[in-house]
Amino acid sequence: MNTTYLALETKRITRDYVTMFFTAVLPAFFYLIFGASQEYSNEAAGNGNVAMYIMISMAAYGAVVATTGIGGMAAVERMQGWGRQLALTPMTDGAYVSIKSTIALMIAAIPIALVFALGALTGAEADAQVWVFSAIILLLGATTFSLYGLCFGLAFRSEAAVSAASGTLVILGFMGNIFFPLTGWLLTVAKFTPLYGYVQLARYPLTEGFNLDTTTGAMIEEAGWIPIVNVVVWTLIFATLATWLVRRGRGRQ
Amino acid sequence: MRTPTAQREAPTYRPTAHAVDLSGIHKSFGGESGGERVHAVDGVDLTIQHGEIVAFLGPNGAGKTTTLDMVLGLTEPNTGTLSVLGLAPRRAVAAGRVSAVLQTGGLLRDLTVRETVQMIASTFAQHSGVDTVVERAGLTSLQGRKVAKWSGGEQQRLRFALALLPDPDVLILDEPTAGMDVGARREFWATMHAEAAAGRTIVFATHYLEEADAFADRIVLMARGRIVADGTTEEIRARATGRTVHADLPDENTAHRVADRLRGIPEVRSAEVEGHRVTVTSQNSDAIALLLLSECGARNVEITTGSLESAFVAITGDPTTTAVTDHTDAQARL
């Protein structure tokens, strides 16, 4: 791994304060508002409490904002000519992808770490293994969304499109049961949206597959295959779309 | 780290391989989804020797950039073979033997100049050294500034610094001075002279006949994907005849009368009238200007040197080419 390149790239991204705000500070703020400061935060939820549930959800949002941004910017910078510049060096496409993937994981880890740290300080409680497994699932699952950002970058070729991609995550977050517990037909629809499977899996160590029905207060169990199929199908969709867009881009050169 | 090129001895003569070798190169784009297939490069054969300085001249769409892209392995020909220093282009690039200053774009705007150089340097196993290339491209004093804040000419110097990193034997420049003002352009070519003196093979594409004339040993003139002329600058110059004289006459009738008179002079290739303004092309622009001013009552006399377009028209004999007048810096207003 080219550590000099990695270090410079990390420096470049972390000094983009606007992006870092949306990636790290906003999810942390959401957690404090919707989680830590609410009365229900101490109520039990699965293997922990409600604060923990909201903490994982907000970390998930921050992590996908991070990876979507990295994926999108990679596409845009390559199409704006940096790809040609790199093509004049011995660096291989594989090396470039592995650097960008490492960056995506590192940047996704920032909101996860920040929100988890705030959670630990403000009353999020769960068994130790819940903290560990949730964090790992959050981190790995977020990589799927670098493909989501990549698709936007490849399709629209501008920084604005990448910001738009990050913006759509707010909508997908609501639709995917991240910000607000959904019930009834909304929950049924949610299961088909891209963020649902990811956040559901990240919360699995805590909830073991139960969803809270906010109208009745009952816990509804969900089959474990549903979020897994959701993640697999959406990853395939993003990957196929990205591949097609790359080919289309080549044809146009 | 390798010895910086400025101190390096003249490159040894390699009889086995030319600097660049192109044979029967064809490259076309599009056509898959019903669109018209464009033949960007349509049968190019070319050999460039070590240490030569070659200018690729031609209008937009002539195939210059596509040809250079193939030499750099950025795109592959449909048919034909090419090699750089006897190697396949991608291998020559990976080995740092060939490098390039590309056209505008291609820099990360939120990096500083120094960071950009460090980033590209990190991809090479061996390189000339970040400080060395920054200094040679004349960037030392401003290396901490973000790329976005630099002018076109300054960004071009940065691309040049990047191209020097692998200490290449062959340096490719694709319209290196596009977007530079006259001063920056002159400075750029002064820097390039030092590189040429160090024995590098330099191949550059340009719109500016002046640049090709001042800097290249050899001009390759391209049009519609083909090489239409290939020779020393003197040879090309001789074919790309003359200068153009423009002048305002008192009225339209006078203008027509003067144009008729000028057409009678053997050195005059053409004389056109538009309103009360005449446009004359000739080998001897000074005499024509003098005649217009002293005997015809002309005002606002303007002399422009032979543009690329006129050279192109002269050589291909193709009057259908859009004659975008390419006023050069040598434009003189009397």
State the burial class of residue A5 (Cβ atoms within 10 Å of its Cβ: 0-12, 13-18, 19+): buried
With a cut of 70, say whether residue B264 has pLDDT above it: yes
- DSSP, residue by residue, B45-111: EEEE-TT-EEEEE--TTSSHHHHHHHHTTSS--SEEEEEETTB-HHHHHHTTSEEEEPSS--S-TTS
Share of chain B above pLDDT 70, in %: 82
pLDDT of residue B189: 86
pLDDT of residue B317: 55
Summarised one tens digit per residue, pLDDT across range A99-143 is 999 999 999 999 999 999 999 999 888 999 999 999 999 999 999
With a cut of 60, say whether residue B328 has pLDDT above it: no
User: Does A85 sit within 8 Å of B106, measured CB to CB?
Assistant: yes
pLDDT of residue B332: 30
Minimal CA separation from B54 to chain A, in Å: 20
A70 and B CB contact within 8 Å: no
Angle at A95 between CA B107 and CA B161, to 5 degrees: 30
The closest alpha carbon to B289, from B241, B325, B247, B236, belongs to: B247
With a cut of 50, say whether residue B330 has pLDDT above it: no
Minimal CA separation from A147 to chain B, in Å: 21
Cα–Cα distance measured from residue A9 to residue B119, given in angstroms and rounded to the nearest whole number: 8
pLDDT of residue B104: 64
Query: Which among B75, B105, B125 is the nearest to A253, CB-wise?
Result: B75
Q: Give the residue, B138 or A139, on which the prediction is more confident.
A: A139
Q: How many CB atoms lie within 10 A of CB B105?
A: 13
Least confident of B33-37, B153-157, B206-210, B283-287: B33-37
- DSSP, residue by residue, B117-128: HHHHHTT-SS-S
User: Does A88 sit within 8 Å of B100, measured CB to CB?
Assistant: yes
Minimal CA separation from B240 to chain A, in Å: 33
Cα–Cα distance measured from residue B273 to residue B115, given in angstroms and rounded to the nearest whole number: 56
pLDDT of residue B33: 60
B96 and A CB contact within 8 Å: yes
User: B25, B40 in Cβ contact below 8 A?
Assistant: no
Query: Which among A82, A87, A90 is the nearest to B108, CB-wise?
Result: A82
State the burial class of residue A191 (Cβ atoms within 10 Å of its Cβ: 0-12, 13-18, 19+): middle
User: Does B118 sit within 8 Å of A12, measured CB to CB?
Assistant: no
Segment B228-252 mean pLDDT: 78
Q: How confident is the model at residue A194 (pLDDT cuts 50, 70, 90)?
A: very high
B108 neighbourhood in chain A, CB within 8 Å: 12, 77, 82
Cα–Cα distance measured from residue B135 to residue B114, given in angstroms and rounded to the nearest whole number: 11
pLDDT of residue A110: 94
Minimal CA separation from A85 to chain B, in Å: 6
Sign of CA dihedral B137, B140, B146, B148: negative
Query: Which among A12, A90, A253 is the nearest to B94, CB-wise?
Result: A90
| Residue B208 DSSP code | -
pLDDT of residue B106: 80
A243 and B CB contact within 8 Å: no
Minimal CA separation from A49 to chain B, in Å: 43
State the burial class of residue B15 (Cβ atoms within 10 Å of its Cβ: 0-12, 13-18, 19+): exposed
The ipTM (two decimal places) reads 0.83
B104 neighbourhood in chain A, CB within 8 Å: 81
Minimal CA separation from B112 to chain A, in Å: 9
Summarised one tens digit per residue, pLDDT across range A145-181 is 999 999 999 898 888 888 889 889 999 999 999 988 8
Matching residue, tokens 């590309």: B102
User: Does B110 sit within 8 Å of A16, measured CB to CB?
Assistant: yes
pLDDT of residue B241: 59
| Residue A82 DSSP code | I
With a cut of 70, say whether residue B238 has pLDDT above it: no
A89 neighbourhood in chain B, CB within 8 Å: 93, 120, 123-124, 166
Q: Give the residue, B238 or B46, on which the prediction is more confident.
A: B46
B125 and A CB contact within 8 Å: yes
User: Does A91 sit within 8 Å of B123, measured CB to CB?
Assistant: yes
A1 and B CB contact within 8 Å: no
Q: How confident is the model at residue A60 (pLDDT cuts 50, 70, 90)?
A: very high
Minimal CA separation from A144 to chain B, in Å: 25
pLDDT of residue B117: 94
Cα–Cα distance measured from residue B334 to residue B293, given in angstroms and rounded to the nearest whole number: 10
Q: Give the residue, A92 or B318, on which the prediction is more confident.
A: A92
With a cut of 60, say whether residue B242 has pLDDT above it: yes
pLDDT of residue A70: 93
With a cut of 80, say whether residue B331 has pLDDT above it: no
A90 and B CB contact within 8 Å: yes
* Average per-residue pLDDT for chain A: 89
A5 neighbourhood in chain B, CB within 8 Å: 119, 122-123
User: B156, A39 in Cβ contact below 8 A?
Assistant: no
Mutation pick from B32, B33, B70, B122 vs chain A, by most beta carbons of A within 10 Å, is: B122
Q: How confident is the model at residue A216 (pLDDT cuts 50, 70, 90)?
A: low
Segment B121-150 mean pLDDT: 88
User: Does B102 sit within 8 Å of A81, measured CB to CB?
Assistant: yes
The closest alpha carbon to B158, from B169, B144, B5, belongs to: B144
pLDDT of residue B185: 84
Minimal CA separation from A252 to chain B, in Å: 7
| Residue B35 DSSP code | S
Structure-token pair, residue A26: 């906003």
Segment A4-9 mean pLDDT: 94
pLDDT of residue B14: 47
pLDDT of residue B164: 92
B30 neighbourhood in chain A, CB within 8 Å: 251
A79 and B CB contact within 8 Å: no
B31 neighbourhood in chain A, CB within 8 Å: none
Chain A: residue nearest B31 by CA? A251
Share of chain A above pLDDT 90, in %: 57
Share of chain B above pLDDT 90, in %: 28
Task: Say what the pTM is.
Answer: 0.76
